[in-house]
Amino acid sequence: MNKNTTSLNLIQNFLSEAELQEILLEFGYVDTARKCTVSTLISYLLGAAANEWKSLRHAADVGPSVGLVSVDHSSLSKHMKMLDYAIMKRIFEVVVGKLNRAARRTLNMPKILLSVDSTTITVGKTRLPWAVYHGERSGIKLHVSFTNETEMPLQVVETTGLKHDGPIGKSLEDKRFILVCDRAYFSIEKVDRYVTEKEKQPFVIRLKDNVQLNRKKALKGSRTKDSNVTADFTCTLGTPQKQTKKRHRVIQFTNHEGKEMRVVTSLMDVTAEEIANMYKSRWAIESFFRWIKQNLNVPVLFGTTKNAVFNQLFAALIAYVLLKFLHVQGRKKNPRKLLSFAGFTRLFLCDALPLEWKISVKERLEFHRHLNQFDIV
């Protein structure tokens, strides 16, 4: 990664210094550091995530060679512990909000899918005593809403590993999207609430295997010979003691392994096959979780305090959304010269992108740099 594409320079194209200072002011944070400022810490954490530096000492050793301000690793460690991670999370929210809006405008999207799920990162029990998980493990969890078409997270809620997914799901709801969720997010109350006039949250949610289906009424619809849909009907859900007040549409289909799946949905004007495909599109968020764990150094925690851990994780997510946005934009401009996300990231950081990709990335960076000069969000 050469000096013209350092992590700090990359984020400055999408977050102006004025916006950063506004965020610090919002949290009442006074940045008194002479060298290890918040900007410097961000640049090191983004660099560590993108380049998979294995420790803060490693980061401090190689940072200056890629254009970062020379800082001792102990200063980085101290700042990570002291900086309220809510500030890093707010920076992530501002950046990801801009990128999702920009991607949606470019793609000219109608109402699109929003996958909701969580991933747990575990370490030894003694590493994170404030986040005891199971047995001899500690763990923290990231609950994520993920826009399939932009291939980026929209919201992230951080908890300890023992926190159940269902209650957190409410904070990830968004009426602008069709929610696509696994069975951990199903509840009788939730699906009834989603179809009320006040809520009107479109959804496709997998049903738990033990959910009882009552008073089935088949829906008419033609299916192709190769359709994997086995049933399409409306019914009430639950037991007589706890049952939905409203009838809901349920689709049964087989997955690629031949296993039968059941999903409940509020969508009545699309085919059963389309709904089955919506649920199967959840693989995108699973791929996202796998990618950040394998490529952003996420399982290697640099600190053990809550601030240190979540500052590192939100910085890694910032690195992901910046790189993913540039990859998606470059892929649209260069449909005949495809690059995988991993390949793009590696070549981008080494300043070795093919010329056509370099041009499209440069244009996108200059465009957002121009917007930031005028504080346009």
Residue 31 near residue 112, CB atoms below 8 Å: no
Using one digit for the tens of pLDDT, what is the confidence trace for 152-209? 999 999 999 999 999 999 999 999 899 999 999 999 999 999 999 787 999 999 999 9
Provide the 10 A C-beta neighbour count for residue 170: 10
Q: How many CB atoms lie within 10 A of CB 88?
A: 25
pLDDT of residue 235: 97
Structural domain contains residue 194 = no
How far, in Å, CA of 252 to CA of 223, rounded? 13
pLDDT tens profile 94-142: 999 988 887 766 554 456 899 999 999 999 989 999 999 988 899 999 9
Domain that holds residue 28: 3-91+304-373
- What is the tally of structural domains in the chain? 2
**Does residue 370 have a pLDDT over 80?**
no
The pair phi, psi for residue 239, each rounded to 5°, is -90, 165
- Whole-angstrom distance, CA of residue 3 vs CA of residue 146: 32
Residue 163 lies in a domain: no
46 within a domain of the structure (yes/no): yes
Predicted pLDDT of residue 106: 57
Q: Of the residues 249, 268, 287, which one is the last residue of a structural domain?
A: 268
Quote the CA–CA distance of 212 and 225 in Å, as a whole number: 29
Report phi then psi at 340, rounded to 5.
Answer: -65, 160
pLDDT digits (tens, 9 = 90+) for 21-43: 999 999 999 988 888 999 999 99
The per-residue pLDDT for 111 is: 62
| Tokens of residue 100, six digits | 């999702």
Residue 160 lies in a domain: no
Structure tokens at 121: 């990162």
Q: Are residues 82 and 31 in the same domain?
A: yes
Instruction: Give the N- to C-terminal CA distance of the chain in Å, as an integer.
Output: 28
If you write DSSP's letter for every residue of 194-207 in order, what string do you get? HTSTTT---EEEEP
The reply to whether 81 falls in a domain is yes
- Residue 314 falls inside a structural domain: yes
